[in-house]
A and B are shown apart, each in its own frame.
Chain A
Amino acid sequence: MKKATKRLSLLLALVMMVTLFTACGSHVNTAAPSPSSPAATAGTAAKTVKTLKLEGGTDWGAPSPFLNESRGPGTAKMKLVFGSLLEKDETKDVSWLAESWSVSGNDYTFTLFKNAKFHDGKPLTTDDVAFSLDYYKIHPPVSNSLGSGNSYIVDHYTIIDKQKITITVKKATADTLSDLGSFVIIPKHIWEKVDDPNKFKGEGYLVGSGAYKCTKYEGATGSYEFTAFDGWCNGKPAAERILFVPVSNAMLAFTNGEIDITTLPADLMDKYTKDSTIGLVNKANDTGYKMLINFQKCPDFLKLELRKAIYSALDRQSVVDKVFRGAGSVGSAGYVPEGSIFYNKDVVKYSYDPAAAKAAFSGKKYSVTLLSADSGSDVAIAEIIRNNLEAAGITVKVAAYDSATRDKMINSGSYEFALVGNGGWGNNPPNYMRTIFSDVSKNKGGNPHSMGPIGYSNEEITRLAEGQMSETDFNKRIQMFKDLQLLVSKEIPLFVIANQSTYSMYRKDYYSGWMKTYAYQQAEQNRLSYMAR
């Protein structure tokens, strides 16, 4: 017996040692630069710093166009490494790898910077642009603005010289310039030998064309290191290194100086807004919640007066106060949130009027199920809606599922009423207004955020939602969006509950280059946030 015990003890000790040293062998890194305390190179409030540290800890994939995760943090890291022809700033499209461009009908001509080069020092020419177009046609990347199959937007291209290329699209729309400006350029000399980009992790797979090189990526720890590319052709990177480090709690990490920017919880607003050393980026009304009705299952609600009565029944301000802790606003009935350049302040405004709602639903005895996700603020908002609608005389049962299940049910139309919440409402409204409201374009993809009202159609809404795509005059296009919002607010194809604002806070005296683009509010994910401007 003693022998058996001794052997077991030895076995146990052996397992522990093997475990520890297996980890040891694969994780010691003596080549990486040492962790340095943040220090500005040019005094306080400098435009350039040695190191910027951000929250990591999640594996968003390798920053290759084919291996990054398809969500914001994954795409943003890839775009630090791989450059596109154009970029967006606060108000317009600006140059990135292309120093100039022109548009003539379906022809888009781009002129590359003469000194553009890849991270391995090889020149970046129009051959690489053309190769990227051809390659993406066969192998669509994760973030794909060019479309695929029949929806591939490029008809052909003409290489004029090493710097100049004309790309001819099948049909020019208002978004074509942005779409052509967004695809990232990959080096022909590396990728021309690669048959399966989804598995390629060979030499040069992270040789990019962007302002930063990826010098370290550790999936297991969600750690990334990006180093400024000294051969970058368009401006100066703001940090010598950008580090994404694992944190357990971002607020604690920010307080301890482990990271330089983080999300500010609404409950701590007072504390930090009084601190003069703290700067804020307001992602105004960027997250929004809407309620969809499946009119095929609930045809009675096709009557406009009942939809108006639902708006009257909903105490949407209580969602802002109780759930968002005051950080947000009641949703615009026209859908586009306040703060966007496309917002129409003249949309119809529906106020909370429980008595009117009760009168409208009196004696109707409706009973519905409200589908909701079981995460985030969704259940809390669903319960407020349930209480409001029950007070008006509609019996409501809340059915909460995990997000993936909720998505599947919404995509397949398996709901009566559904609450959908998502970020990105402050993004470019043209991208979502058409896919939500146009009878021609809605309910086509796999994204519940783009799902429009099922069983509801409106010719005028469709005309405006589709027509804006062909309008290349920016001001006229904005007006079309305003008209569309006004119509949506009058017709109520869906109910906009509320928008939540979030804030990123950073130390002003260390680095203050964080910015939002006109199309995207996440400052930490905009590559211009990492450029000295």
Chain B
Amino acid sequence: MKRKIVIFLCSFIVIYVFNFSIPRLMPGDPFSYSSSVSGEDNITDLSREQIEYLRSYYGMDKPFFEQFTDMVSRNLRGDFGLSIHYKRAASDILAERLPWTLFIMTSTLALSLLIGSLLALWCIRSKRADRIVYGVASVISEIPPYLIAILLLFLVAANVRWLPLSGAETAFGVYATELEWIKDVLLHALLPMTAMCLVTIPRFYFTARASFLGIVEKPYILNAKAKGLRERRIRWRYIFFNGITPVIARFFLSVGSTVGGTLLIENVFAYPGLGTVMREAVKYRDYIMIQDVFLLSATIVLISMFLADLINGLVDKESADL
């Protein structure tokens, strides 16, 4: 356990240093970026004096190492800096956006875990169903979620008026009750979650299928059948509960890919999560925001990996006991 914690902390430190260095090593500059497209062309040209003032204001006129130590000291005090692009505290921006991303992410993973596991449980009974589901899942799991999102947007949402095309809630909506608001939020989340689930359900299905098939061959299942236990009881109490642990580990292992998928999908549906922040931070070379948003995503993934590791440890222990 101690070893795992040390590895976790070392990984965090390496990511922290990379997060600071990489944006500053990228070509480009937050103050001289001025490329525009039509519609954004009234760009304020900053004079050299203004650029120097801003560099000094954001502490970017200091040597590289001094900037790093300043950041460490600030971060330790809970100050994550002022976004250059948004001109607001980066922590405020992340606090506004993170719940939406976590909502889509955790809901997607939980739904996928549930549906994927149930599908697997059903398929181990029926070889015909297994063949079909396995084939379809193999194809769908290879499609990038943002592509599914675009297809859903143009083929479904554009033709179904009651489905919202964008956002996480009705803009300027007024809700009489909390329940009304939750309904609105769920409706707005339907398409992004569907796009994500279509890709993640097959992953859980594959993991659960492999786990359940492994359990079906165990002697205690044969023993249970010989005792005359009901099929339903064997399936749930013996196969499902004993085989679900790797699926839960898959939940945490999937966090990394789900974070990536969610961030892209958010851009398709103008969903107010971390996705648009990350895109704009990179586009405008907002060093502070880039390092904070990547650090946050990396921390979420690291914690998930840590938890997955713990669960896998449990599985190994269980296998050894058996």
Contact = CB atoms under 8 A, between A and B. Distances in A.
Genuine A/B complex: yes
Nearest to B106: A16
A243 B172 CA distance: 9
B166 A423 contact: no
B27 A248 contact: no
Contacts of B47: 147-149, 151, 445
A446 B44 CA distance: 11
A520 B284 CA distance: 24
B68 interface: no
A71 B45 contact: no
Interface size classification for chain A:
35 or more
A407 interface: yes
B87 A198 contact: yes
A209 interface: no
Interface in A501-524: 502, 520, 522, 524
A42 interface: no
Interface stretch (A136-144, A272-280, A293-301, A337-345): A136-144
A8 interface: yes
Interface in A370-423: 373, 376, 401-409, 411, 422-423
B272 interface: yes
Contacts of B42: 71-72, 75-76, 424, 427, 520, 522, 525
B37 A423 contact: yes
A220 B275 CA distance: 11
Contacts of A283: 38
Interface stretch (B1-9, B177-185, B196-204): B177-185
B259 to A, nearest CB: 14
Interface in A233-278: 243, 245-249, 252-253, 256, 258, 263
A71 B43 contact: yes
A447 B32 contact: yes
Contacts of A225: 172
Nearest to B28: A404
Contacts of B51: 446
A47 B233 CA distance: 72
A502 B38 contact: yes
A73 B27 contact: no
A314 B182 CA distance: 58
Nearest to B100: A23
Given A24-B178, A405-B27, A522-B39, A447 B172 contact: no
Given A252-B158, A411-B32, A198 B82 contact: yes
B130 interface: no
Nearest to B105: A19
Interface stretch (B118-126, B139-147, B215-223, B244-252): B244-252
Contacts of A332: none
Interface string A6-34: 00110011011001101110111110111
B38 A286 contact: yes
Contacts of B26: 404-405
A28 to B, nearest CB: 5
A310 interface: no
B96 interface: yes
Interface stretch (A54-62, A91-99, A186-194, A458-466): A54-62
Given A19-B102, A283-B38, A373-B35, A401 B248 contact: no
A295 B174 CA distance: 61
Given A445-B47, A447-B43, A249 B99 contact: no
Interface residues of B, number: 80
B97 to A, nearest CB: 5
A204 interface: no
Given A404-B33, A427-B41, A249 B153 contact: yes
B34 A446 contact: yes
Interface of B, secondary structure class, is loop
B174 A142 contact: no
B48 A445 contact: yes
A19 B103 contact: yes
Contacts of B46: 70, 445-446
B75 interface: no
B158 A67 contact: no
A194 to B, nearest CB: 14
A27 to B, nearest CB: 6
Contact of A71 (B36, B57, B165): B36
B33 A219 contact: no
A248 B269 contact: yes
A375 B170 CA distance: 31
A126 interface: no
B64 interface: no
A1 to B, nearest CB: 6
A24 B181 contact: yes
A365 to B, nearest CB: 31
Given A35-B173, A445-B47, A5 B35 contact: no
A49 B316 CA distance: 68
B245 A19 contact: no
Nearest to A30: B174
B49 A221 contact: no
Given A405-B27, A424-B43, A522-B39, A447 B244 contact: no
Interface in A342-377: 373, 376
Contacts of B16: none
Contacts of B57: 198
Contact of B245 (A1, A76, A248): A1
B103 A34 contact: no
B272 to A, nearest CB: 4
Contacts of B45: 445-447, 450
Interface in A440-493: 444-450
Contacts of A198: 57, 82, 87
Contacts of B106: 12, 15-16, 19
A533 interface: no
Nearest to B88: A219
Contacts of A9: 248
A322 interface: no
Given A4-B314, A72-B41, A424-B42, A61 B172 contact: no
Contacts of B132: none
Contacts of A56: 171
A519 B242 CA distance: 72
A412 to B, nearest CB: 10
B180 to A, nearest CB: 10
B185 A30 contact: no
Nearest to A522: B39
Given A2-B241, A19-B102, A446 B32 contact: yes
Interface in A185-234: 198-199, 201, 216, 219-223, 225
A150 interface: yes
Contact of B87 (A58, A61, A445): A61
B10 to A, nearest CB: 26
Nearest to A409: B27
A248 B49 contact: no
Given A24-B181, A407-B32, A408-B29, A70 B97 contact: no
A67 B87 CA distance: 6
Given A66-B87, A404-B26, 4 more contacts: A1-B241, A23-B103, A151-B49, A449-B36
8 contacts: A4-B314, A16-B106, A69-B85, A148-B50, A246-B270, A252-B157, A263-B38, A445-B45
